[in-house]
Amino acid sequence: MKICQQMDCDKTIELHILPEKEGWILFQKYAGLSDNSSKSILDRGRKISKECKGLPIAIAFIARSLKGPRPLEEWDVALTSLQKSMHVNDNEDESRKKVYTCLKYSYDNMKDETAKKLFLLCSLFREDEEISEELLVRLAKGATLIDKIDDDDSYDECRKKVIVAKNKLIDSCLLLNCKYERVKMHDLVREMALWIANEENVAVNTSKKNEMTKVEKGKDIKYLLCEGKIKNLFSSKFDGSKLVILIVYMKTHHHVEVPNSFFENKPGLQVLILSNSFVPRPSLSLPQSIQRLTNIKSLYLKRFKLGNISIIGNLQALETLELV
């Protein structure tokens, strides 16, 4: 099995499973260990490294999470966690399950709740999609992911907390740093994050009937990303009572008319992104029912020709409006 992972390099490199000795060298690098480290730590480190089965991505995740002064008990917990098999999917091969186990350990032992929420939020975006720091701040603010922010200068406070959380995720290898203050998720990390979020985070291709069925049967969806045939989404009937964030990616040059019924059962929606990637831009018509989104804080309409959108002025809770 080959694992692709961007570590401290400028580009993604492909690595085979490492021999035990090379795996241990890599583990020491990411955990900050040396021959001068205590024997107790080194002994536990070797056992943990061995449990990673030579997978570079697993070694990087688990070693980074143990870097710095840590009590022996924490190393013991890490070893025990890796020795337990994770029940993800019976069809997954053992190497993949081991990576999932390492990711889950790294996530579970993160003490920053904001970082955890941000991690799950990032899983909503498409594979290999680079997410701007500014967008993360706006989503975190719009979806109220960060508690205890003073009313005065709240946006700046939110930005600071998001940046701190983002950096912690990068240090833990749960996010990859990109150029221009952007981040992205490794595909395995994204799969794991969606698994952790269970039925609350859902990313679907609306062109696939089986994926739309998952949406229509969902009762607890909080974050939803849709791409594909947009008509399938607009015509579907799903429980949006708990929906907080909705991201819709389109690729069309035809006029887009959101049906009036679409916003009728989404009272808690706080962030809405409608984004089109087709050139030339199609026109977009918003229904009267958008006024029912009384909790909407952030609205993004990207790459559309917009006519009269004065109806947006009736959204009293709206804090951020972006028309690109």
Q: What is the pLDDT of residues 106-154, one digit of tens each?
A: 888 888 899 999 999 999 898 889 999 999 999 999 998 887 665 555 8
What CATH number did the domain enclosing 288 receive? 3.80.10.10
Rounded mean pLDDT of the chain?
Answer: 86
Which of 108, 126, 141 is the C-terminal boundary of a domain? 108
66 and 127 part of one domain: no
247 and 311 part of one domain: yes
pLDDT at 1 over 90: no
Predicted confidence at residue 10, as pLDDT, reads: 36
Q: What is the pLDDT of residues 155-206, one digit of tens each?
A: 888 999 999 999 999 888 789 899 999 999 988 788 888 888 877 888 888 8
- The residue type at 88: V
Predicted confidence at residue 83, as pLDDT, reads: 81
pLDDT at 7 over 50: no
pLDDT at 11 over 50: no
153 and 246 part of one domain: no
Predicted confidence at residue 291, as pLDDT, reads: 95
27 and 90 part of one domain: yes
282 and 245 part of one domain: yes
Predicted confidence at residue 86, as pLDDT, reads: 58
Q: What is the pLDDT of residues 52-70, one digit of tens each?
A: 888 887 888 889 889 989 9
pLDDT at 78 over 60: yes
Predicted confidence at residue 106, as pLDDT, reads: 81
Domain count, the chain: 3
Predicted confidence at residue 125, as pLDDT, reads: 92
129 and 35 part of one domain: no
Full domain range(s) for residue 237: 198-323
17 and 46 part of one domain: yes
pLDDT at 272 over 90: yes
Rounded average pLDDT over 41-57: 90
Rounded average pLDDT over 75-85: 84
Which of 58, 75, 108 is the C-terminal boundary of a domain? 108
124 and 216 part of one domain: no
Measured CA to CA, the distance from residue 297 to residue 146 in angstroms comes to 14
pTM of the model: 0.78
